Structure 1
C-alpha cells in the first residue's frame, strides 16, 4: 500500500508535467496570429482557385482551344505578299530588254499570291472535329479535377469537425473527473473512503487532460491538411464554421450499386472525357485515311516589277533634200535633188510608278496532287491511328470498370459504416447506463476507484468511437451522392 501511495503521485506528476508541456506547445502554435473563420463553400472556392493542378489543366484547355481555332482557319484561302530589291553590277542581262549590259542595274519585284484547298480527302474537316473533341475532353478533365478537389476539401472539413467533436467529449470527460475528484477529496477528508481512491481519480483526471491535448493536436493536424488543400500558408490560423451534422438515421440507401453506376456513367466527367478521346481517335483514323486522296488546290498570283535600266526610246525623223547630181536636157543642165529621210533617237528613263502599272501580270490555276507512292505513309499512319483508337476504347472500358468497382466498394463501406455506427450507438447507450450505475455506487462507497475508472474509460472510448463512426458513415453516404451528382450539403 505504501508503494502504491508513492507510485501514484509520481505518475500523476509526470503526466501533469507532460500535459503542461504539450499544452504550452499547442497554445504557442495556435495563438501566433488571430484565427480566420472559414466556411465550407469558402474553403472549396479557395482550394479551386489556388490549386496548381487545376491551373495547369486550365492552361491545357486554353491550348486545346487555340489549336481548334487554328484548324478552323485552315479552311480559308491564304494570302501572301512578296517584295524584293536587287542590285546587279558587271555583265548582266537587262531585265527590261533582255539585252547584255555592263552597267549597274537595280530592280524591284513585288506581288501577291493566294491559294485555297478545294479538296484534301476531308482531312481539314476531320482535323477540326478531332480538335473539337480534344477540347471537350480537356474541359471534362478540368471538371473532374475540380470535383476531386471539392470532395477532398469536404473530407478534410468533416475531419476537422469530427476532431472538434472529439475534443468536446474529452473536455467533458475532464469536467466529470474534476467533479469526481472534488467529491472524492471530501470523502477522503471525511474518512469514508481510502486515500488510494483519491490517487486513482487524480490519475484518471491527468489521463483525461492528456486526451484533451491529443484531441487539440489532432485538430491542428486536421486544419493543416485543410490549409494544404486550400494552398494557403501553414502559419495562417483558421477556424471552420460549424455545420450542424445531425446524427444519421440508419436507413437503407435509396439506390442500389447498379443504379448508382448507371447514373454516374451518364454524367461523370471522367467517363465522358474517356468517351471523347475515343471519338477523337476515330477522327484521327479518318484523317490518316484522307492521306490516300488527291489534294486539289486553287491558286492565283499578281506580280509587277521595276528596273533602273528601263528606258523609253524616242525616234525623230526629218526629210533632207540634197543635190545628188545633174542631168542634161536639150543642152540645158538641170540639178537632181534627192529627198532622204533622216532618223535620230533619244532615250529617257521610265518612272517607277509607271513601271509598276505597266508591268503587272496575273495568273490563275488549279493544281492536283495525287499520292502514288510515299513509302506507305498513309498505310502506316492509318494502322497507327487504328491502334490508338483501340487503346482509347480499352481505356474507356477501364474507366468504367474502375468506376463500377469504386461504387461497389463505396456501397459496401457505407453498409459497414452503418452497421458499425448502429452497434456503437447501442454500445454507448448501454455503457451510459452502466456508468451511471457505477457512478452512483462509487459516490456511496460501494464501488472501488479502479472499477469506476474502467467503467468511465469504456464509456469515453465508446463515445469517441461513435463520433468517428458517425462522420465515417456520413462521408460514405456523400461519396455515393457524389457519384450521382447530388450536392455535397448537410
Structure 2
C-alpha cells in the first residue's frame, strides 16, 4: 500500500488543486506588504495649438506650437493607523490557516486512498470466495446427480443443489460487478489500475487509548489549528478597521518637464511635501465596519469551538469503529472455524442419510457468510485504524514514511513574500 499512497500523494488532482490554491493565497502577504512600499507613477501629454493674429496693418499671422510635458511622482505612506502592519499579520495568519486546510485535504485524500485500496482487496477476496463457492456447489451438484442416478436421493435433492448453484453464480456476478466499481474508484483516487495488492497491517503508531487519541486530535488536527489561525486573522482585521479612524501621513515628491508651454519654450518644476489627513466624519461607514469585524471575530472563536467538538466526536467514533472491528474479527474467526467443522459434519451425516441436501446447502451458506463477514471486518479494521490517524492529525506522508518528494508549502511562500516586481510564477511547487 505505501506505493499506492505515494502515488496518490503526488498525483491526486484534488490535492494538487488545493496546493495551487495555497500558493495563490501566499500572494496575499506580498500584497499586504506593498503598503510599506512607495508608489511611482509617470504621466506624459502632447497637444497641438495654433494662434491666429490680425495686426492693425491688416496682415494676418499665425503661431503653431506643440506643447509637451512629462512628470514623475513618488508617493510614500508614512503612517496610516498601523493598517498596513495589521493587514500583513492578518494575511500571514491566513496563509498559516490555508496550510492547515491543505494538510486536512492531504489527510482526506490519503484516507480515501486507503479506503479504495482496502475495498479492492476486500472485493477481490469476496469474488474469490464466491468463485470457490461456485466450484464447491458444482461438485456437490455432480455428486447429488450421481446419487440420484443410483436411487440414494430424490429429484428434490437434485433441484435443491441446482438452485444453490444458481444462487452462488448470481453472487459471483454481483461480486465481480462490485469489484469493478471499487477498481474504478481506486483509479480515480490513486491514478492507476490496482496491481498485485498486498495485505495491510494495522499501523504501529496508533494512540494507546481513546483519551490519548482525543488529546492528540485537539492538539494536532488541522481543522482545529486552521480555526485558531482564522481567529488570529479576524482579530487583525478588527485592528485594520480601527486604523481607518487614525490620521494618515504621507510624503510625495514630483518633477515635471514641459516643452513649448505658453510663452516659454521649456519649463521645469519640482515639488516635495508631506500630507496629513485627519478623518472627522465620513458617514459612519468606518464605525460600521469595526462593529462588523468584531462580530466576525466572535464568529471565528465560536467556529474554533465547533471544530474542537467535531474533532472530539470524530475521534470517539473512529476509535469505537476500530474496537468494534477488532471484536468482530475475533468473533468471525471463531464462527468460520465452527461453521467449517459443522459443514464437514453435515456432509458426513448426509452421506448416511441423516441429513438432506438442503441441510448441506444451508450449512454451506452459513460458512460462506461467516467468511465474507470476516473479510469485511478485516477491511473495516484497517480503514478504522487509518481513520483514527486522520482524526488525530497524523495521516500524512511523514508519519506514514512514504518514499516520495514531500511538498513544502514554505518554499513558494518564501519566493513570493518579498518580491517587488515580476509576473513570472516561481517554481516552488
Cross-structure match for 1:372: 280
Secondary structure at the aligned position of 1:160 is classed as helix
Deviates more, 1:147-156 or 1:83-92: 83-92
Cross-structure match for 2:419: none
How far does residue 162 in structure 1 lie from its aligned partner after superposition? Answer: 0.6
Contact 1:40–1:241 (CA<8 Å) still a contact in 2? no
Cross-structure match for 1:61: 22
Whether 2:251 is the aligned partner of 1:298: answer yes
How far does residue 195 in structure 1 lie from its aligned partner after superposition? Answer: 4.8
Cross-structure match for 2:356: 448
CA 1:272–1:427: 2 relative to 1, 3 Å: same
The one of 196, 221, 234 equivalent to 1:268 is 221
Whether 2:140 is the aligned partner of 1:180: answer yes
Contact 1:57–1:138 (CA<8 Å) still a contact in 2? no
Contact 1:88–1:105 (CA<8 Å) still a contact in 2? yes
Contact 2:257–2:269 (CA<8 Å) still a contact in 1? yes
Whether 2:114 is the aligned partner of 1:159: answer no
The one of 23, 27, 40 equivalent to 1:79 is 40
Cross-structure match for 2:408: none
TM-score, normalised via structure 1 length? 0.72
How far does residue 381 in structure 1 lie from its aligned partner after superposition? Answer: 1.8
How far does residue 387 in structure 1 lie from its aligned partner after superposition? Answer: 0.8
Contact 1:48–1:146 (CA<8 Å) still a contact in 2? no
The CA distance in 2 between the partners of 1:286 and 1:91, in whole Å, is 62
Cross-structure match for 1:307: 260
Q: Which runs of 5+ in 1 are unaligned?
A: 1-38, 93-100, 233-237, 312-349
Contact 1:79–1:113 (CA<8 Å) still a contact in 2? yes
The one of 95, 114, 119 equivalent to 1:135 is 95
The CA distance in 2 between the partners of 1:227 and 1:431, in whole Å, is 37
Secondary structure at the aligned position of 1:243 is classed as coil
How far does residue 108 in structure 1 lie from its aligned partner after superposition? Answer: 1.8
Q: Could you say which structure has the greater relative contact order, defined with CA pairs below 8 angstroms and 6 or more residues apart?
A: 2
The CA distance in 2 between the partners of 1:435 and 1:296, in whole Å, is 92
Secondary structure at the aligned position of 1:447 is classed as coil
Secondary structure at the aligned position of 2:293 is classed as helix
Contact 1:68–1:128 (CA<8 Å) still a contact in 2? yes
Cross-structure match for 1:88: 49
Secondary structure at the aligned position of 2:124 is classed as helix
| Paired residue total | 390
How far does residue 392 in structure 1 lie from its aligned partner after superposition? Answer: 0.9
Secondary structure at the aligned position of 1:104 is classed as strand
The CA distance in 2 between the partners of 1:283 and 1:90, in whole Å, is 60
Contact 1:48–1:150 (CA<8 Å) still a contact in 2? no
Cross-structure match for 2:71: 111
The CA distance in 1 between the partners of 2:323 and 2:261, in whole Å, is 94
Q: Which runs of 5+ in 2 are unaligned?
A: 54-60, 403-429
Deviation readout 1:111-170 (Å, 9 max, x if unpaired): 221111111111111111111222222232223122212211211221111111111211
The CA distance in 2 between the partners of 1:380 and 1:292, in whole Å, is 12
The CA distance in 2 between the partners of 1:239 and 1:309, in whole Å, is 83
Deviation readout 1:238-289 (Å, 9 max, x if unpaired): 344322236x79x9x8533332122123222222211111111011011111
Deviation readout 1:77-111 (Å, 9 max, x if unpaired): 2222222223233479xxxxxxxx97333322222
RMSD: 2.9
How far does residue 393 in structure 1 lie from its aligned partner after superposition? Answer: 0.9
Q: Which structure has the greater CA radius of gyration?
A: 1
CA 1:375–1:442: 2 relative to 1, 3 Å: same
Secondary structure at the aligned position of 1:446 is classed as coil
CA 1:245–1:446: 2 relative to 1, 3 Å: farther
The CA distance in 1 between the partners of 2:200 and 2:16, in whole Å, is 33
Whether 2:18 is the aligned partner of 1:49: answer no
Whether 2:216 is the aligned partner of 1:256: answer no
CA 1:91–1:144: 2 relative to 1, 3 Å: farther
How far does residue 56 in structure 1 lie from its aligned partner after superposition? Answer: 4.5
CA 1:397–1:262: 2 relative to 1, 3 Å: same
The CA distance in 2 between the partners of 1:67 and 1:478, in whole Å, is 35
The CA distance in 1 between the partners of 2:25 and 2:269, in whole Å, is 42
How far does residue 66 in structure 1 lie from its aligned partner after superposition? Answer: 2.3
Cross-structure match for 2:420: none
How far does residue 458 in structure 1 lie from its aligned partner after superposition? Answer: 1.2
The one of 193, 196, 221 equivalent to 1:241 is 196
Equivalence map 1:413-424=2 (5 Å): 413-424=321-332
How far does residue 476 in structure 1 lie from its aligned partner after superposition? Answer: 1.4
The CA distance in 1 between the partners of 2:372 and 2:361, in whole Å, is 16
The CA distance in 2 between the partners of 1:199 and 1:184, in whole Å, is 9
Secondary structure at the aligned position of 2:87 is classed as helix
CA 1:477–1:308: 2 relative to 1, 3 Å: closer
Cross-structure match for 1:25: none
